[in-house]
Amino acid sequence: MTVEIEDLHVGYAGRDVVAGVRLMAAAGEIAGLVGPNGSGKSTVLRTVYRHLRPTAGRVLLTGTDLRTLTPGQTARQVAALPQERGSDFELTVHEVVAMGRTPYKRAFAGEDRADRECVAGALAAVGMAGQGARRFSALSGGERQRVLLARAFAQDPEVLVLDEPTNHLDVRHQVELLALLRAQRRTTLISLHDLNAAASLCDRLHVLHAGRVVASGAPRTVLTPQLLAEVFGVRAAVTAHPLTGDPLIAFDHREPLPAGDG
Amino acid sequence: MTQTSEVTETAVDPGARVDDGRSARRPPRAGLLAAGLGIALVAALTAAVCLGSTDIAPGHVWSVVLQRLGGAPPRPGTDDLIVWQLRVPRALLAALAGAGLGLVGTATQAMVRNPLADPYLLGISNGASLGAVAAIVLGASAGDLLGLGLSAAAFAGALASFALVWCFARRGGGFSPLRLVLAGVGIGQFLSGFTSYLVLQAGDEQQTRSVLFWLMGSLGGATWSVLWLPAAAVGAGLLALQARARAMNALLMGDETAAGVGVDVTRLRRELFVVTGLLTGVLVAVSGAIGFVGLMVPHLCRLVIGGDHRRLLPLSALTGALLLVVVDVVCRTAMDSQELPVGVVTAMIGAPVLLFLLDRRMEAGR
């Protein structure tokens, strides 16, 4: 399933936060959204999982306009991992993952064997098999994030939408999470702050700046020292990673570029 | 873990079969608990009818009740009057009010995503109180109004405050938890200002007493003719909430997560507000503003069976019913000379329980 976003506008309180974004993720491809804080990454993603309604423009799932689908129909095709980290309501891991079955269930339907198997399978997929009875709020940050990812897997979606999924994770957990996503081979839209992670993971990158896409393409072609200077306002060199061959961005952490160059 | 081989098989396909018995908190436990609570509720109801200014033996109570249920004409004598006309309706009203408060509390906590939210947070009870107090103080003497008239005034007040809170909560983004709470608290305080003013205007001591008694919650108005409304409201409320139990679960994780699993969050919150607002209005109209039950019961239930609303809602209803039936027995029998208001006893039990829970939560969060 491909995701295409056409001329998307989203505004809060009369001000356009996203102004004419066009981007896409081809079937089975991992498309990354990168950009400085406030560039509109999260806002774009929120329209794909229908937390926000665009003021103009369309989101298409293999040609079907999202607005012609009910929220339930959308949720059977698109699963999201927002930045929310849950709350303190005594939920078990199993109960959190079982939320992914919501779009498949009628009002009074109980949990059947297929649901339980799906939840167990999703937990196994994130390396948390057999941990369903644990309390969600008692998990470590890394475990929590994996359980939330399992919740998205339990939706059995064609498309995954992830908003900064590696935030607050230590480097080992970041690598594990990204490896999991790579292994899924589902159409994925992901926003990432870590440009090196994005360069390594994504098949395609869209660079956002002030609510617009300023560059799109393979990481190697998009992430140039010039773009990093213009969009992110930093000095950086781009080389090849000595272990993997992926693009490796070496930032100059000593001084930002003088304002105005960005 | 014994299913290692299956786990590797399913690493890519979450739909594959893994028999993971530990991962589910199995429903039978909740079923067993519900059955136990049901039995306890019947026992408590029986005790509530037996105990009072004159004690009546359980066997006799049940024979009167079964005879009446069988449609037989009442046996002459005071037992029928005490059992069937006074104590049974009162015990049933206690059960209904408790069940309703348990439901409303659970739903309100999910709606504003705060486990410490109270059904009265949304200002409905303040409106109902104002209506009732206005009726007592401005209207005819309290004696005439202790029947349906007082309830009607209270319900009118509840509807008025519901409409006010609705108008404020829907503005700007629409029914966000913060807006709901701010609108509820603000309008609630505004209305309770008027209530306090009216209480001061009360003509005589008798009026003041009946006003205060009503404000602290009272089941004294229970008659068979009053019962149908809370019964219908609690039944309809349970169905309406149970149908949304799954969506309420998703709401606990956050609005974005709920939207991502196909929940129309604004619409759900609007529906929950209608259900909880109307149900609260009915409950407060027939029994006054009984505090702490709606806050405490969902908490207790969550500690025992967890946060899944499909189990939490019915168990909160049962637990609330059981609690309030027992509390009302205490209220009627603790002092020889007079009856205690229900709200006084629920607060005296509820506040320490709440402090204990908060303490536990902070310990756990450390």
Would an 8 Å CB–CB cutoff place B28 in contact with chain A?
Answer: no
* Interval B183-227: pLDDT, tens: 899 999 999 999 989 888 877 787 777 778 778 888 888 889 889
CATH of the domain at B278: 1.10.3470.10
Measured CA angle at A31 (ends A30, A34), to 5 deg: 135
Token readout for B56 is 């009546």
Chain A contact present for B304, CB below 8 A: no
**C-beta atoms of A122 and B246 within 8 A:** no
Closest CA to B100 of B278, B248, B328, B245: B278
Do A201 and A261 belong to one domain? Answer: no
Residue among B115, B253, B302 whose CB faces A99 most closely:
B253
Q: Is the CB of residue A174 less than 8 Å from the CB of residue A197?
A: yes
Residue B86 falls within a domain, yes or no? no
Tell if the CB–CB gap between A120 and B20 is shorter than 8 Å.
yes
Which chain B residues touch A93 with a CB distance below 8 Å? 23
Decide which of B336 and B20 is more confident: B336
Count other C-beta atoms under 10 Å from residue B240's C-beta.
Answer: 18
**Predicted pLDDT at B309:** 94
- Interface test with chain A among B13, B261, B263, B311, by most A beta carbons within 10 Å: B261
In tens, the pLDDT along B81-134 reads: 888 889 999 999 999 999 999 999 999 999 988 887 888 888 888 898 898 888
A123 to chain B: which residues are within 8 Å by CB? 20, 23
Verdict on whether the full-model pTM lies above 0.80: yes
B307 near B252, Cβ under 8 Å? yes
Give how far A203 is from chain B: nearest CA, Å.
20
DSSP string, A168-213: T--HHHHHHHHHHHHHH--EEEEE-S-HHHHHHH-SEEEEEETTEE
Put simply, the answer to whether B262 touches A100 (Cβ < 8 Å) is: no
Interface predicted TM-score (ipTM) = 0.91
- CATH code, domain with A118: 3.40.50.300
Do residue A239 and residue A117 come from a single domain? no
Distance from CA of A114 to the nearest CA of B (A): 8
Which amino acid, A140?
A: S
Band of the pLDDT at B30, cuts 50, 70, 90? confident
Confidence of residue B173 (pLDDT cuts 50, 70, 90): low
B163 Cβ neighbours under 8 A, 6+ residues apart? none
The token duo for B108 is: 């309100």
Contacts of A83 in chain B (CB under 8 A): 256
Please tell me whether residues A256 and A217 are part of one structural domain: no
Q: Tell me: the pLDDT tens digits for A22-36?
A: 999 999 999 999 999
Contact A116 B24 (CB under 8 A): yes
Sign of the dihedral defined by the CA atoms of residues A87, A88, A92, A95, in that order: negative
**Which of A8-17, B71-80, B283-292 has the lowest average pLDDT?**
B71-80
A238 and A160 in one domain? no
What pLDDT is attached to residue B348?
87
A51 & A161 share domain = yes
CB of A129 closer than 8 Å to CB of B3: yes
Residues 6+ apart with CB under 8 A from A58: A5, A6, A7, A8, A65, A66, A67
Nearest by CB to B18, from A49, A102, A124: name it.
Answer: A124
Using CA atoms in the order B65, B69, B71, B76, what is the torsion angle rounded to 10 degrees? 10
The predicted-structure confidence for A80-131, as pLDDT tens digits, reads as follows: 999 987 777 889 999 999 999 999 998 888 888 999 999 999 999 999 999 9
B19 touching chain A per CB within 8 A: yes
B255 interfaces chain A, CB cutoff of 8 Å = yes
> What's chain B's length in residues?
366
Residue A132 shares a structural domain with residue A204: yes
CA A121, A122, A123, A126 dihedral sign is positive
CA atoms of A27 and A48, how far apart (whole Å): 15
Predicted pLDDT of residue B364: 58
A28, A202 contact by CB (below 8 A): no
- One domain for residues A34 and A137: yes
Query: Has residue B26 got a pLDDT over 50?
Result: no
Q: Which residue of A has its CA nearest to B311?
A: A110
Residues 6+ apart with CB under 8 A from B166: B273, B277
Residues in CB range of B124: below 8 A, 6 or more apart: B158, B161, B162, B165, B184, B276, B277, B280, B281, B284
Written as six digits, the tokens of B116 are: 């410490």
Residues A203 and A258 in one domain: no
Q: How many structural domains compose chain B?
A: 1
B143 CB-near residues (< 8 Å, 6+ apart): none
- Same-domain pairing of A204 and A254: no
* Per-residue pLDDT at A262: 43
Q: Check whether residue A170 and residue A262 sit in a common domain.
A: no
Query: Which chain B residues are Cβ-neighbours of A100 within 8 angstroms?
Result: 261
- What CA–CA distance (Å, rounded) separates B154 from B282? 8
Nearest to A106 by CA among B246, B268, B24: B246
Q: Are residues A117 and A179 in the same domain?
A: yes
Number of domains in chain A: 2
Residues A54 and A130 in one domain: yes
Distance between CA atoms of residues B99 and A111, nearest Å: 25
Range of the domain at A183: 3-223
Of B24, B250, B259, the CB nearest to A99: B250
What is the domain extent for residue B283?
93-350
